[in-house]
């Protein structure tokens, strides 16, 4: 898994890492038991301080999303019900799509009426 981070976004890098992991879990890309990239490897790949990655992983562990195993790495929590999260995302997707379509239609209609 490669994280695409934006150093110019104004959001701290550790928070961006956390958001990327959460998003991957929500979308079913990461499931319970999956291993996350190693701290050093991810830091080298992204050209950042390993402490930044470690901080993100510790926060994810604190939130119960990740388990840090000494000498083995970081894993998506076994206790996490990723299937339930994925199912909710699948249910919400068409609702969000319809809402976005309505907003676009309303914006177009407002632009045309001017």
Indicate which CATH number applies to the domain containing 22: 1.10.10.10
Give the pLDDT of residue 111: 85
Domains identified in the chain, total number: 1
Query: For residue 67, what are the β-bridge partners?
Result: 75
Give the pLDDT of residue 33: 92
**Is there a domain that residue 54 lies in?**
yes
Residue 65 · residue 18 · CB < 8 Å: no
Name the maximum alpha-carbon separation found in the chain: 64
Give the pLDDT of residue 53: 94
Helix, strand, coil tally for the chain in percent (to 5): 60, 10, 35
Give the pLDDT of residue 85: 58
**Is there a domain that residue 89 lies in?**
no
Residues spanned by the domain of 17: 13-80
Residue 47 · residue 53 · CB < 8 Å: no
- Tell me the average confidence (pLDDT) per consecutive run of 10 residues in the chain, 114 residues long: 79 93 88 92 91 95 92 88 61 84 89 80
């Amino acid at each position: 898994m490669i994280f695409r981070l934006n150093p110019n976004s104004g959001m701290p890098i550790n928070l961006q890492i956390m958001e990327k992991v959460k998003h991957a879990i929500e979308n079913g890309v990461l499931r319970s038991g999956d291993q996350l990239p190693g701290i050093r490897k991810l830091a080298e790949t992204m050209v950042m301080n390993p402490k930044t990655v470690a901080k993100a992983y510790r926060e994810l562990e604190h939130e119960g999303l990740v388990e840090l195993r000494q000498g083995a790495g970081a894993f998506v929590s076994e206790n996490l019900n990723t299937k339930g999260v994925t199912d909710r995302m699948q249910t919400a997707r068409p609702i969000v799509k319809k809402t976005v379509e309505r907003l676009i239609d309303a914006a177009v209609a407002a632009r045309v009426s001017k």
